[in-house]
Structure 1
Amino acid sequence: MKVESLIFDMDGTLWDSAENVARSWTEVLKEKSDVDMVVTESDIKAVMGMPMDAIARKMFGEFPEERQMELVDACGDYENDYLRQHGGKLYDGVEDTLAKLSEAHRLYIVSNCQSGYIEAFLEYYGFGRYFKDILCWGDTKVSKGESIKILMDKNGITDAAYVGDIQGDCDSARYAGIKFIHAAYGFGKVEDKDASIQRFEGLLDIVE
């Protein structure tokens, strides 16, 4: 598969931050008098990939919409700070593969996360040098497919593949009119993929 640019999902593709996200959310929520909740890694994995407003409804559905967003925003803000200090579980081969890919491709990230989450990832690992641009739901408040199109338009991208791990990622790539590579080691199963990788380094075999 020959493509000029690669656009990456975050969770289940580049890393697994669920354990530390759960810890950070639990720390925030224990300070809230109206919330009695311990957030688990499984809870976080069940919502990863959703836009933040959908996560708010899923996690805090017993509260009015305004309170749902207050809680998810508080958790997200602290989560960013926590991940800047503690990171997550980086998948094997990510750094070496990104370094090699960046020599011949333009690399980007588009995620459904809150603003600051991608930056925390890049800061913790020092990966900013590999990526040309990033975009997330917190910046655009639109679907991932629409965010991919915004990033493509901004950067003059006409030939790209999106690398992600769940069906929503595939659907978003199709919406944006680009190819999709399934990170099969991640969190979900996908139909209608253009290619699949069992490990991150497998990208080199597909696009080089």
Structure 2
Amino acid sequence: MQNAIIFDMDGTLFQTHLILEGALEQTFEKLRAESLWVDSTPIEKYKEIMGVPLAVVWETLCPQHSFVIRERSNEWFQQFLVQQIEAGRGGLYEGVTETLQQLSEDLPIFIASNGQPAYLQAIVTHYGLDRWIKKVYSIEQIASRDKSLLVHKVIEENKLVRGYVIGDRLSDFQAAKDNNLQSIGVRFDFAQQQELETADFVVDQFSAVLPIIKEEIKIQK
């Protein structure tokens, strides 16, 4: 196997914003119930840092809390996210299923995400993404929580030589660069213009990924 496509999940395939607010509100309601939080839920702050490893999320949202409380908060958050997914409150971006189906006819598809395994599996199962995706990789598999190293793991395990990393944040584009792959940025909910400028290609609709890759395949042939 030499060529492949590596997708990010949150803000790339999955519309995380549809479940984010509800799950975060539930988490901080639990914290308030245990007298561990008194202010409103810091939803806007989380949106600003969306895409960073979860340890950084809780360090940012709850800087005054101990490591144990942050870990417990994250466990609650993950449980609520999965519940939201299973209740059908999330959604894939428009064109994802059709585009994945067409891309999978030419190249194997993998996921490399900062999300935790149970959360990622809930999305894959609920939307039947395993029809097209070969394997899902979580940042939890990398001790340093470095996205570039996670993508490197995908490359090594699957003996890849060329390919694409498709995502919405700088860590995705940097992971592509660090591993000599091309990057495609999606200008969706959490994307930032300054970060998108570092990608090799940028699209405004998910289906626009298809002609870019099809053209590159044609050139390589």
TM-score by length of 1: 0.90
Task: Read off the aligned partner of 1:8 and give its amino acid letter.
Answer: F
**Conserved? CA contact 1:30–1:36, under 8 Å:** no
Query: How many residues get paired?
Result: 206
Does residue 195 of structure 1 match 2:205? Answer: no
Q: Which moved more, 1:173-182 or 1:144-153?
A: 173-182
Equivalent in the alignment of 1:77? 79
Give, in whole Å, the separation in 2 of the partners of 1:202 and 1:30: 40
- Indicate the larger mover: 134-143 or 51-60: 134-143
Higher deviation after alignment, 38-47 or 91-100: 38-47
Q: Spell out the pairing of 1:23-172 with structure 2 (5 A cutoff).
A: 23-32=22-31, 33=34, 34-36=36-38, 38-39=40-41, 42-141=44-143, 142-172=145-175
**More helix per residue:** 2
The CA deviation at 1:38 is 4.5
Matched to 2:206, the amino acid is F
1:11 aligns to what?
Answer: 10
Q: Is the 8 A contact 1:167 1:191 kept in 2?
A: no
- Amino acid across the alignment from 1:136: S
User: Structure 1 residues 102-111 or 16-25, which shifts more?
Assistant: 16-25
Once the two structures are superposed, residues 90-145 of structure 1 have per-residue CA deviations (whole angstroms, 9 ceiling, x without a partner) of 21111101111111111011011122121111111111111011111223332111
Distance 1:177 1:77 in 2: 36
CA positional deviation for 1:4 = 2.4
Paired residue type of 2:131: R
Residues 29 and 182 of structure 1, relative CA distance in 2, 3 Å threshold:
same
Change (3 A) 1:7 1:37: farther
Aligned residue among 145, 163, 173 for 2:176: 173
Q: CA RMSD in A?
A: 1.9
Would you say the 8 A contact 2:162–2:180 is kept in 1?
Answer: no
Give the counterpart letter for 1:30 in structure 2. Answer: E
Structure 1 residue 40 displacement after superposition: 6.1
Identity %: 21
User: Aligned letter for 1:164?
Assistant: G
Q: Unaligned 5+ residue runs, structure 1?
A: none
User: Partners of 1:108 and 1:65 in 2: how far apart?
Assistant: 32
Report SS of the residue matched to 1:109.
strand
Q: 1:10 to 1:38 in 2, by over 3 A?
A: farther
Name the SS of the counterpart of 1:161 in structure 2. strand
Q: TM-score, normalised by structure 2?
A: 0.85
- Contact 1:87-1:121 within 8 A present in 2 as well: no
CA contact (8 A) 1:15 1:89 kept: yes
Report the CA distance between 1:10 and its aligned residue. 1.2
Deviations 1:36-77 (A, max 9, x none): 355365344222210011011111112123322221222123
Please tell me whether Structure 1 or Structure 2 has the larger radius of gyration of its CA atoms. 2
* Structure 2 unmatched ranges of 5 or more: 215-221
- 1:207 corresponding residue in structure 2: 213
